[in-house]
């Protein structure tokens, strides 16, 4: 038994493989981080005894993440390679006791042991989501799904407009992302500012679109997180096709129908999105 036989590692690899096969990760596009459970950290400690890179200072302090262990995709690494060279594509990273530094314990072998260039935005989201509900949020997943990116280029960057347009495609949508979708204008990837702005939107949503770049989702586990992206990307594709065929003339659920759905499935849909 080795580190690659641990269930959590196998599930991480599976997400990467599925994301690649779904076309969400051209070249080195996208990244994923996972905040490990205490029992998973214990398992890992059976295989990792000393760090491979000592402490590196972080651009931003995250007290709420002090002592946490993360699985982290590497900067410039391709999701496509995860199955064949997992030790190159991702690594295990530990945050120090004050939330100011991180060190690499395993992996990231090929790129000089560098976590994703978007490690800071990921940590901002983890910090906000852990504070909101530590068990509900462990994964932050970023990818470049084609239809979502096209939609972000042609629709107003307004959360209500985009959320309702996506929800209208099928009931699965409000059921899968009931708190709606936030959206930010185009921005330089990987910056602390983008991390902060994304974090602000993540206080309200579990999904944020980076216009003409991609999508970020915070979720409980790998199934949930990939499932949300898959649902949104399918919905975005249907929306684009419907609009191509019919312009703005197509059937949509009414406010009353949304209220009925909300009541039956206990979705707690925000009033601002339900109201017509």
Catalytic center residues: 118
Residue closer to ligand 13P by CB (options 64, 111) is 111
Beta carbons of 211 and 198 less than 8 angstroms apart: no
Of 8, 15, 16, 30, the one binding ligand 13P by CB under 6 A: 30
Residue spans of alpha helices (H) in 48-137: 86-89, 119-132
- Please tell me whether residue 73 binds ligand 13P under the rule CB under 6 A: yes
- For residues 15, 221, 93, 21, the Cα torsion angle rounded to the nearest 10 degrees is 10
- Please tell me whether residue 91 binds Zn ion under the rule CB under 5 A: no
Q: Work out the angle at residue 254's Cα, subtended by the Cα atoms of residues 249 and 256, and round it to the nearest 5 degrees.
A: 170
- Please tell me whether residue 75 binds ligand 13P under the rule CB under 6 A: yes
Distance of alpha carbon 195 from alpha carbon 26, whole angstroms = 22
- Please tell me whether residue 28 binds ligand 13P under the rule CB under 6 A: yes
Which tokens hold the place of 224? 């949930």
* Strand-pair category, 207-210 with 181-184: parallel
Cα atoms found within 13 Å of the Cα of residue 219, Cβ hemisphere only:
20
Name residue, tokens 């992206």: 229
Residue number with the shortest CB distance to Zn ion? 214
Judge residue 226's burial from the number of C-beta atoms within 10 Å of its C-beta, 0-12 exposed, 13-18 middle, 19 or more buried: buried
- Please tell me whether residue 56 binds ligand 13P under the rule CB under 6 A: no
- Please tell me whether residue 187 binds ligand 13P under the rule CB under 6 A: no
Binding segment for Zn ion (CB under 5 A), chosen from 11-19, 133-141, 213-221, 232-240, is: 213-221
Residue closer to ligand 13P by CB (options 116, 159) is 116
244: alpha, beta or left? (left if phi > 0; alpha if psi -120 to 50): alpha
Residues with Cβ within 8 Å of residue 4, at least 6 apart in sequence: 10, 13, 86, 87
User: By rule CB under 6 A, what string of x and - marks binding of each residue 203-242 to ligand 13P?
Assistant: ----------------------------------------
Find which of ligand 13P, Zn ion, none residue 126 binds, CB within 5 to 8 Å per kind.
Answer: none
Residue closer to Zn ion by CB (options 19, 214) is 214
User: By rule CB under 5 A, what string of x and - marks binding of each residue 155-194 to Zn ion?
Assistant: ----------------------------------------
- Please tell me whether residue 121 binds Zn ion under the rule CB under 5 A: no
- Please tell me whether residue 214 binds Zn ion under the rule CB under 5 A: yes
The residues that touch ligand 13P, with contacts defined as CB under 6 A, are 28-31, 73, 75-76, 116-118, 142, 189
The residues that touch Zn ion, with contacts defined as CB under 5 A, are 214
């Amino acid at each position: 038994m080795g580190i690659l036989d641990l269930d959590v590692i196998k599930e991480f690899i599976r997400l990467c493989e599925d994301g690649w096969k779904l076309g969400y990760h051209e070249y080195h596009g996208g990244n994923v981080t996972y905040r490990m459970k205490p029992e998973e950290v214990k398992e890992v400690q059976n295989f990792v005894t000393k760090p491979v890179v000592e402490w590196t200072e972080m651009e931003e302090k995250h007290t709420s993440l002090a002592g946490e262990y993360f699985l982290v995709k590497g900067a410039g690494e391709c999701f496509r390679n995860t199955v064949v060279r997992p030790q190159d594509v991702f690594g295990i990273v530990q945050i120090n006791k004050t939330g100011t530094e991180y060190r690499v314990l395993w992996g990231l072998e090929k790129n000089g042991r560098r976590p994703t260039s978007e490690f800071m935005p990921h940590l901002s989201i983890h910090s906000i989501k852990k504070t909101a509900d530590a068990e509900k949020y462990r994964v932050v997943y970023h990818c470049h799904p084609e239809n979502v990116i096209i939609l972000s280029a042609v629709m107003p960057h307004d959360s209500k407009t985009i959320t309702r347009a996506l929800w209208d495609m099928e009931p699965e949508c409000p059921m899968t992302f009931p708190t709606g979708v936030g959206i930010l204008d185009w921005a330089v990837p990987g910056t602390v500012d983008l991390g902060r702005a994304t974090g602000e939107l993540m206080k309200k949503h579990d999904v944020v679109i980076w216009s003409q770049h991609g999508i970020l989702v915070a979720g409980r586990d790998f199934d949930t997180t990939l499932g949300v992206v898959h649902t949104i990307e399918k919905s975005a594709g249907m929306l684009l096709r419907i609009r191509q065929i019919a312009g703005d003339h197509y059937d949509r659920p009414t406010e009353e129908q949304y209220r009925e759905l909300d009541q039956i499935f206990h979705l707690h849909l925000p009033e601002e999105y339900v109201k017509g």
